A and B are shown apart, each in its own frame.
Chain A
Amino acid sequence: MKLNLFLLLFIIFSKFSFAVEKTVDPNLIYKNLRCLVCQGQSISDSNSDFAQTIKLVVKDLIDEGKTDEEIYTFMADKYGDWIVFKPQFNTQNSLLWILPYIVLILGGFFIFSFLKIKKRQ
């Protein structure tokens, strides 16, 4: 009985520890990197020489223990933000990230005011 309980706890906690450990999926990174010498293709879709080289470098960076964010930062550092399909938050593109939320809040406020006035009338 004690052994069963121990085994159960071991399985639960080992699973938990695996879940916490974040694995880096190279294919996901390839999909989020733009092939700079192709027409609208990602590194994942392209068989170009450039894409093959980037794939090799991404694999090396993963082997070095770099996280996906670190890999995107590395690539953006070398080739500019254009290489990443999902741009990272910085001062230059802050408006791009913040604007939808501002519009959402303003829109909500606008609808709320509009309905309130209409109700009064």
Chain B
Amino acid sequence: MQKIIKIIILFIFLFVIGIFYISLTRDTNYNTSSLINKETPEFKIISFDNSNFYTRDDIKKSNYTLINFWASWCAPCKIEHPILMKLSQIKNLSILGINFKDNNTQAKKFLSELGNPYDLLAKDKNGKHSVKFGIYGIPESILINKELMIIQKFVGPLSVDDYNNIIKIIEQL
């Protein structure tokens, strides 16, 4: 009986140590990697100039689409803007910009000053559309292929490494 007790105590000890080890070595930063390789959600979003709506069908037209959530009040969006301008020159890549909870005049001013990298420009006035894409802060970008699969998600401003990564993915075509 004492032997069983000793084994049980040892088992509990090892179990507790194991739990601590897993918990302490786990990456606690929130990421949206669960969305990768999933299909793009259905959406119908109004264009920036209120003239029409964009849906998933508009994404299918290009081999790759980068959906970029941005706003004029967002300082990191200004940081990533030169990268977006560079990306806008790439063939096979279309950029859908979604202006997030922004003022129209300010957003227009932002684009006229820094340039407009977007092939399609939409707006999400109350942020409801962003939830469909698992967005929790801006800037965030999502790379989607023609089959509407999410290939990569970029949380925070796009960096030079992200740019190279996108180029690498597109060149695989």
Question: Would you call A53 and B137 a contact (CB within 8 A)?
Answer: no
Bound CA span A114–B137, Å = 56
Question: Would you call A56 and B127 a contact (CB within 8 A)?
Answer: yes
State whether the Cβ of B112 lies closer than 8 Å to any Cβ in chain A. Answer: no
User: Interface readout for B1-35 with A: 1 if CB under 8 Å, 0 if not?
Assistant: 10000001000000000000000000000101011
Question: Would you call A53 and B127 a contact (CB within 8 A)?
Answer: yes
Interface segment among B56-64, B78-86, B128-136: the answer is B128-136
Interface segment among A4-12, A20-28, A62-70, A74-82: the answer is A74-82
* Contact residue among A49, A79, A113, A114 (Cβ-Cβ distance under 8 Å from B32): A79
Instruction: List residues of A whose CB falls within 8 A of some B CB.
Output: 36-37, 49-50, 52-54, 56-57, 60, 78-80, 82, 110, 113-114, 117
Q: How many chain-B residues does the 8 Å CB contact rule pick out?
A: 17
Question: Would you call A53 and B126 a contact (CB within 8 A)?
Answer: yes
Question: Would you call A37 and B8 a contact (CB within 8 A)?
Answer: no
What's the dominant secondary structure at chain B's contact region? loop
Bound CA span A49–B128, Å = 11
Bound CA span A111–B45, Å = 62
Q: How far is the CB of B134 from chain A (nearest CB, A)?
A: 4
Question: Would you call B127 and A49 a contact (CB within 8 A)?
Answer: yes
